[in-house]
Chains A and B, each alone.
Chain A
Amino acid sequence: MPPTEEQNIKVVERWSARTLQVGIWTSAILIALGLVLSFVPGDASQGSAQQQMVYDGLSSIKQNAGSPVVLLYLGLILLMLTPVLRVVTSLVGFASEKDKTYVGVSAFVLVVLLAELCYSLIIR
């Protein structure tokens, strides 16, 4: 029996929820790992980096390669990307439901989001 419209919607929402779950759990594990490793005595990089007032975004990751703080950055960036993930999965969902209006609405939101993302990467 072919899936009903309602079942299709449920599948899309469940898939959306699942990708979000993977995202936040991965992020949480990365962060937790990074924090645990930061507490290991003898990790000098943590001390000096903490004096900073400005954390220099992406370049900070390169500077601190090999230090657990990279895990923190990765986890945080992944977390910050989860909303983008959400918009994409919803867009795909609307497309599969052939809902042109909302494909448009969600695409608009995605474009604005990506534009701001690119803007913030470029000015650095």
Chain B
Amino acid sequence: MIASSFILLFLGGIATGTLGSLLGIGGGIFLVPFLTLVIGVPAKQAIATSIIAVIATSSAGASVNLKRNTVNVRLGFLLESVTVLGAIGGSFTASLLSGETLIKLFATLLLVVAILMIHKTRQKKSMDAPSSQGILHGQFTDEANGTVVSYAVHRIPAVMGVSFLAGNVSGLLGIGGGIFKVPAMHILGGVPMKIATATSNFTIGVTAAASAFIYFSHGHVNPWIASSSALGVLGGSLLGTVINRKIESTVLTWIFVVVLLFVSIQMYLK
């Protein structure tokens, strides 16, 4: 492998890891197009590399977020229990719809989610306040402004439903599914943005792990491409967690919205 491709892959990995761990996504939505269009990696190898990148972002992020108490582990596992089922069901869903339809559907969903997220930022802060109706109460200290935030999770069935769909999408496109899980937790569940991203980050690695081994056994993991990217992603993820300390939750939400819109538009253009 020539040095220039290593550097490209590594840098691509860093960008993916940084954004990914910040937003609670695996970064696969950037990495797959980057690998296929910029570097010219065959599709299946790109997806396999992306899945490994998701695992890297997830594990690296989790190792830090767990100590910061921003991961709601119980919520994570609750959602993960349906996401893995979704991942298995994903292969059946795929055969029902054409590739074109899937992408258009995906792009539309992202747009809808972006609008909902924007709407959410306009709402009063009191919507995040602790409520006796929610479950899985939690509390954390937002290091960006030093406040202690209490919260509870609402509308669990809805959040779980979205997680199931996220699982469907995950194995197909080589993504972690965080792009749906974070808004689901934040908008439907009323979970603060930093908890939603950290919890999502915690779970997507598990979703990706199953697919990863299947891709590996089918021989789609190119060790040089995957390694170079993974190394970058690991570094980027840790960088992301450092940024996460100081960044304000609203800024985080807006970055998320921009990413959603960007990816949505990219998919429409395809």
Contact = CB atoms under 8 A, between A and B. Distances in A.
A100 interface: no
Interface in B19-77: 42, 52, 55-56, 58-60, 62-64, 66-67, 69, 71, 73-74, 77
> Size class of A's contact patch?
35 or more
Interface in A100-118: 102, 105-106, 108-109, 112-113, 116-117
B217 A83 contact: no
Given A76-B52, A80-B55, A86-B205, A24 B60 contact: yes
Nearest to B209: A83
B217 A14 contact: no
A87 B73 CA distance: 10
Give chain A's interface secondary structure class: helix
Contacts of A76: 52, 216, 221, 223, 226-227, 230
B3 A31 contact: no
Contacts of A60: 219, 223
Interface stretch (B79-87, B102-110, B186-194, B258-266): B79-87
Contacts of A50: 1, 224
Given A76-B52, A82-B59, A13 B214 contact: no
A46 B3 CA distance: 13
A43 to B, nearest CB: 11
B217 A109 contact: no
Given A38-B224, A55-B223, A32 B231 contact: yes
A17 B67 contact: yes
Contacts, number: 154
Given A13-B67, A83-B59, A106-B77, A58 B217 contact: yes
A46 B1 contact: yes
Contacts of B66: 13-14, 16-17, 20
B48 to A, nearest CB: 9
B77 A79 contact: no
Given A20-B59, A24-B234, A55 B64 contact: no
B6 interface: yes
16 contacts: A13-B67, A18-B63, A20-B62, A21-B63, A27-B230, A35-B224, A53-B42, A69-B223, A73-B223, A80-B52, A102-B74, A105-B78, A106-B77, A109-B81, A109-B206, A120-B214
Interface of B: 1, 3, 6, 42, 52, 55-56, 58-60, 62-64, 66-67, 69, 71, 73-74, 77-78, 80-81, 84-85, 88, 202, 205-206, 208-210, 212-214, 216-224, 226-228, 230-231, 234
Given A23-B59, A38-B1, A54-B219, 13 more contacts: A10-B69, A13-B69, A14-B67, A17-B66, A24-B63, A46-B224, A54-B218, A75-B230, A79-B56, A84-B209, A102-B77, A105-B77, A120-B213
9 closest cross-chain pairs (CB), A and B: A54-B219, A83-B209, A17-B66, A72-B223, A20-B63, A83-B205, A120-B217, A116-B210, A82-B59
Interface of A: 10, 13-14, 16-18, 20-21, 23-24, 27-28, 31-32, 34-35, 38-39, 46, 50, 53-58, 60, 69, 72-73, 75-77, 79-84, 86-87, 90, 93, 102, 105-106, 108-109, 112-113, 116-117, 119-121, 123-124
